[in-house]
A and B are shown apart, each in its own frame.
Chain A
Amino acid sequence: MPRVVVRWSAVTAVDPDLAWSILSDAERRRAERTGHAAVRRRFVTGRALLRSLVAETLPTSAVEVRIDQEPLGRPWLPDHPETGVSVSATHDRVVVAVAVGTSHLGVDVERLDRPLHIPAGRWCTPTEVVALERLTDRDRRRRHLELWTGKEAVTKALGTGLRRPLRDVEVLPDTRADGVPPGVLRWVDAGPDHLVAVAAWA
């Protein structure tokens, strides 16, 4: 796996004025178009955090680095196309990641106690469904979230969003999906309550 730097923060831990001060005009316009206050604050926090992390990783500054948006919403750096960036958020937490040397990068964060009410057959492969059924209830909860975040991270790294059915991405025991090499996924705990999946390949 390429070197990936991941950082997370509680949304409330970032000063909104400070975050706003380092955003680009385009990002401010996008934030102002967002009607929902919580969504706006998360976007502003996420972009500010991403800008800070990019500035630590590349020879640029948090204010100067250009961040564009692909049509399906994935952020990218037009001046540094070989550096991948990814952002994910829960209601109260933002996670950002930078991978130098590859644009195939995706992160996804979830709260560990979030209930998942979607039938497994709707988003898991048959192999995953069988593996889930063998687990105890407690282990299944965590594995559910590992599967969900893992699939989300891989689809983000592919840049396909939900257009690639989650059922087409097999995460366990190892990642299997068209165009995705094996061994591209890692999970890290972001504090005691959140799980982060990171997918990256060269």
Chain B
Amino acid sequence: VNTTEIRAIVLETLAEVVPDLDPAGLDPDADLRDELDLDSMDTLTIVSRFEERLAITIPDRDVAGMDTLDATVTYLADRRAAAAT
């Protein structure tokens, strides 16, 4: 799974939780929780779907760091690479 694919998975997952999401209008460095009006239940829903789709586990302590689109993609790519080795 490369970074482009991970980005697509992230956007697809976000769109499931935020039905009116405009992926093209999403600033990759903006705070996702503010930008998309996500609360903690939304956040954990999204995180659990990342875990399922990428076959990884994401410790709760890492969730706060996945605060922007770019940070989320980078984190998931690292996590996926670590899981694959």
Interface positions of A (Cβ within 8 A of B): 34-36, 38-39, 90-91, 110, 114, 116-119, 122-123, 148, 152, 161-167
Point out the residues of chain A lying under 8 angstroms from B59, CB to CB. 165
Q: Would you list which residues of chain B between 63 and 82 have a CB under 8 Å from chain A?
A: 63-64
B44 near A123: Cβ-Cβ < 8 Å: yes
Interface positions of B (Cβ within 8 A of A): 30, 34-37, 39-41, 43-45, 48, 51, 59-61, 63-64
A35 near B35: Cβ-Cβ < 8 Å: yes
Point out the residues of chain B lying under 8 angstroms from A162, CB to CB. 40, 43-44, 60, 63-64
Point out the residues of chain B lying under 8 angstroms from A167, CB to CB. 60
The B interface, classified by DSSP as helix, strand, loop or mixed, is helix
B41 near A114: Cβ-Cβ < 8 Å: yes
Shortest Cβ distance from B52 into A: residue = A119
A162 to B66: give the CA distance in the assembly, Å. 12
Contact of A148 among B34, B41, B43 (CB under 8 A): B41
Top 4 closest pairs, chain A to chain B, by CB: A165-B60, A118-B48, A122-B48, A36-B37
Q: If the complex has contacts A162-B63, A162-B64, A163-B64, are A39 and B40 also in contact, measured as CB distance less than 8 A?
A: no
A119 to chain B, nearest CB (A): 6
B26 to chain A, nearest CB (A): 12
Point out the residues of chain B lying under 8 angstroms from A161, CB to CB. 64
A90 to B40: give the CA distance in the assembly, Å. 11
A148 to B45: give the CA distance in the assembly, Å. 12
Point out the residues of chain A lying under 8 angstroms from B64, CB to CB. 161-163
A114 to B45: give the CA distance in the assembly, Å. 13
A202 to chain B, nearest CB (A): 26
Point out the residues of chain A lying under 8 angstroms from B44, CB to CB. 118, 122-123, 162, 166
A167 to B59: give the CA distance in the assembly, Å. 11
Point out the residues of chain A lying under 8 angstroms from B48, CB to CB. 117-119, 122
A163 to B40: give the CA distance in the assembly, Å. 12
Point out the residues of chain A lying under 8 angstroms from B61, CB to CB. 163, 165
Point out the residues of chain A lying under 8 angstroms from B40, CB to CB. 152, 162
A159 to chain B, nearest CB (A): 14
A148 to B43: give the CA distance in the assembly, Å. 13
Contact of B37 among A39, A123, A164, A165 (CB under 8 A): A39
A167 to B58: give the CA distance in the assembly, Å. 13
A166 to B48: give the CA distance in the assembly, Å. 13
A158 to chain B, nearest CB (A): 14
